Amino acid sequence: MVPELRKRHRIIWQIGSVLLCLGFAAAVWVLPQPVTQTQAFQKIDPPLPRILDTQESEELTINLRGDSTIGTQLEFIIKEPLAQPVAQLYWQYTFIGVLGPKGTQRFPISGARLAKAPYFLQIVNPFEKTGIQKFNFNP
Amino acid sequence: MSVNYTTVQWNRQKRRYDRIMGGIIALYLLTFTLLQLAFYPLISPETLIIRATGTLAFIMLQFILCIGPMARLDHRFLPLLYNRRHLGVTTFLIGAVHGIFNIIQFHSLGYVDPIFSVFASNTHYGSLQDFPFQVLGFFALLILFLMAATSHDFWLKNLSPRWWKSLHMLVYLAYGLLVFHVMLGAIQLEQSPMWIGFVGFGLFTLISLHLMAAGVEKKRLQEQMDKAAVGEGFYQVCSAEDIPENRAKMVYLEGQNIAVFRYDGKVSAVNNICRHQHGPIGEGKIVDGCITCPWHGYQYLPQNGQSPPPFTEKLETYDVKIVDGMVWVNPTPYPEGTERPAAIIQA
Amino acid sequence: MYWLQILLYGVYAYLSLGLIFGLWFVFKGAEQIDENMHGATWPTRLLLLPASIALWVVLLKKYLKHQRHGS
């Protein structure tokens, strides 16, 4: 190469390397961060000591736990992902919450709803009125 | 050289070079296709072509830009420099397949002009994250097109070497555009550390090579000037033993860029700049009695700087003498093609 | 983006004129500014066509200059 041309190359690369490195760093800087979802059911009530009754389906194990002094709760252990996208829970026709997609979840049941056995639980998909699951508890 | 133009200047080495290049390209495309089919079994042929040609063209451009400084740092890489032109044209063609398939797939299904759509379909020109990165690729491809289209010797001669060289130095701009085309395009979508690593590694290698080569050259030039001892217009350059047989020592004296060749027990000096494309003649060697430019194989006789007939290119020549085994060069040039006696090396 | 559409039409017009000039140049004009073009084959001439289309203004200037100095 001619010395003059060589000098041109040198200057181009000295300036170019700074610009390219800055640009590279900026492009990495603006990379979209992976979306982190906060879990809808982060706080899980501690389990009450006694299991009063258990119902099973292919997807779920449902325990009615509690004792007369502390209160009563429903415990859901999800064994397989639920077929329905949203699962609303109704205890004795009263809405008690929405079941999340995985793990173990517990919902408190107020004393007034425990007046007289047998009790029944319905799992409802609000988008489709079909596919209602029903469980009976008789402690 | 100055005989009538041919379509492609092929010779034995260039054919071999091109065959190796073709083989490596085919191997890359095959491997890439198999990997894509393994990782993305549902990939469409268009997407596969876009990905394969895009990655290949970027890797090839990266490699082409490494050749220059590599050859300057280590002369064993010089054969890669030779015929770099075919590598460049091939890179453009592969890049063009990538660009055309992209325009067909993403811009030609609407009712607006596809080229208009490249510029207007995404207008977040103020954002880095959502920048219309395809525009960057478009301009890079345009530069590669101009370079490939003017790569024939006809253009070198008729656009003038200066104009031509400036046009071809735009390749650095094209590379810069492509780095951002990749970083703001595919990388923002994939976010894979592996791909970021690849681009970063390539960038780092290229910058280091260029800065290293520039530094080494600058130092070498300075040392030469410091060492050259002056006497009656002659400068002491090196000992005759320092020049390998059929090779040259390049010196820069009083603004003259000179290549001092040793061959058949003799030493001759000619101007170091090839008349063809300003290639560094001193990085070449003597083949069949002729100095052969490493860039495109232009040839000159060492004792008079003339191309062997029927060619007409000529180089300036210089006086050389050998005193006590040391080579002395007078940097006052003789007119192009002037015969000067070679200095004999005493055994 | 209205200006872009106009600019683009300008580019298309430039390239259309370039195609006409380029075809004439590679088959006729080139030989007049460079004698090495004599006897060039069809593939060689077509190889020069893309750049002749893209750079036709530069070539036209060169050709006209050559004509003035030649005569």
The DSSP secondary structure of B40-97, one letter per residue, reads -TT--HHHHHHHHHHHHHHHHHHHHHHHHHHHHH-GGGHHHHTTHHHHHHHHHHHHHH
Pair B192, B55 in one domain: yes
**Average pLDDT score over residue span C6-26:** 95
Please give the angle made by the CA atoms of A9, A11 and A17, to the nearest 5 degrees: 95
Range B44-58 burial, b when 16+ CB lie within 10 A, else e: eeeebbbbbbbbbbb
In three-state secondary structure terms, C37 is: helix
**Average pLDDT score over residue span C55-65:** 92
For an interface test with B, give the residue of C55, C59, C61 to mutate (most B CBs within 10 A).
C55
For residue C25, the enclosing domain spans 2-70
Partner residue facing C1 (CB), from B5, B120, B158: B120
Tally of domains within chain C: 1
Where a domain ends, among B178, B194, B218? B218
3-state secondary structure B264-290: CCEEEEEECECCCCCCEHHHCEEECCE
Pair B210, B236 in one domain: no
* Contact flag A32-B257 (C-beta cutoff 8 Å): no
Contact B204, B64 (CB under 8 A): no
For residue B238, the enclosing domain spans 231-344
Pair B20, B131 in one domain: yes
* Contact flag A23-B214 (C-beta cutoff 8 Å): no
For an interface test with C, give the residue of B125, B135, B158, B159 to mutate (most C CBs within 10 A).
B158
Pair B268, B134 in one domain: no
Spans in chain B with pLDDT lower than 70: 1-4, 224-231, 347
Site of tokens 């990495």: A28
Partner residue facing B116 (CB), from C5, C37, C48: C5
Alpha-carbon distance C48 to C21, whole Å? 12
B267 inside domain: yes
B114 inside domain: yes
Rounded to the nearest integer, the mean pLDDT of chain C is 90
Chain B nearest CA to C28, separation (Å): 14
B6 inside domain: no
% of chain C residues with pLDDT over 70: 97
Chain A, 29-68: which have a CB under 8 Å from a chain B CB? 30-32, 34
Rounded to the nearest integer, the mean pLDDT of chain B is 88
Please give the angle made by the CA atoms of B106, B111 and B112, to the nearest 5 degrees: 75
Residue A102 contacts B where some CB pair is shorter than 8 Å: no
- Tokens at A16, concatenated: 């170019």
Pair B254, B138 in one domain: no
For an interface test with B, give the residue of C25, C36, C63 to mutate (most B CBs within 10 A).
C36
- Tokens at B188, concatenated: 């923002």
Residue C43 contacts B where some CB pair is shorter than 8 Å: yes
Residue C6 contacts B where some CB pair is shorter than 8 Å: no
Using a CB-CB distance cutoff of 8 angstroms, which residues of chain A are in contact with residue B218?
10
CATH code of the domain in which B131 resides = 1.20.120
Pair B190, B236 in one domain: no
Pair B187, B271 in one domain: no
Residue B129 contacts C where some CB pair is shorter than 8 Å: no
Residues 6+ positions from B335 with CB-CB distance below 8 Å: B316
In three-state secondary structure terms, B218 is: helix
Pair B200, B245 in one domain: no
Torsion sign (Cα): A75, A80, A83, A86: positive
Pair B281, B214 in one domain: no
Contact A12, B169 (CB under 8 A): yes
CATH code of the domain in which B312 resides = 2.102.10.10
Q: Check contact B-C (3+ Cβ pairs < 8 Å).
A: yes
Alpha-carbon distance B250 to B238, whole Å? 10
Measured between alpha carbons, how far is residue B164 from residues A9, B155, B286, C60 in Å?
15, 7, 27, 17
B182 inside domain: yes
DSSP C40: -
* Contact flag C38-B4 (C-beta cutoff 8 Å): yes
DSSP B111: S
Q: Could you tell me which of B182, B176, B108, B102 has the C-alpha nearest to residue B144?
A: B176
- Ramachandran category for residue B288: left, alpha or beta (phi over 0 → left; psi -120 to 50 → alpha): left
Please give the angle made by the CA atoms of B203, B208 and B210, to the nearest 5 degrees: 100
Alpha-carbon distance B172 to B149, whole Å? 17
Q: Report ipTM for this prediction.
A: 0.94
- Tokens at A29, concatenated: 């800087």
pLDDT in tens, A83-103: 777 788 888 888 888 888 778
Measured between alpha carbons, how far is residue B336 from residues A27, B195, B317 in Å?
52, 52, 7
Partner residue facing B113 (CB), from C8, C30, C34: C8
Q: Could you tell me which of A121, A22, A17, A132 has the C-alpha nearest to residue A63?
A: A121
Contact B337, B304 (CB under 8 A): yes
Where a domain ends, among B184, B218, B252? B218
Pair B145, B262 in one domain: no
Range B232-242 burial, b when 16+ CB lie within 10 A, else e: eebbebbebee
Contact B322, B344 (CB under 8 A): yes
Tally of domains within chain B: 2
Alpha-carbon distance B61 to B140, whole Å? 11
Alpha-carbon dihedral angle through residues A70, A72, A78, A83, given to the nearest 10 degrees: -150
Chain B nearest CA to C45, separation (Å): 8
Alpha-carbon distance B185 to B51, whole Å? 12
Q: Which residue has the higher pLDDT, C17 or B322?
A: C17
* Contact flag B154-C48 (C-beta cutoff 8 Å): yes
Q: Which residue has the higher pLDDT, B265 or A38?
A: B265
DSSP-H helix ranges across chain B: 12-39, 45-73, 78-81, 84-107, 114-120, 133-149, 153-158, 161-169, 171-184, 186-190, 193-227
Q: Check contact B-A (3+ Cβ pairs < 8 Å).
A: yes
Site of tokens 């070198």: B156
Alpha-carbon distance A84 to B10, whole Å? 69
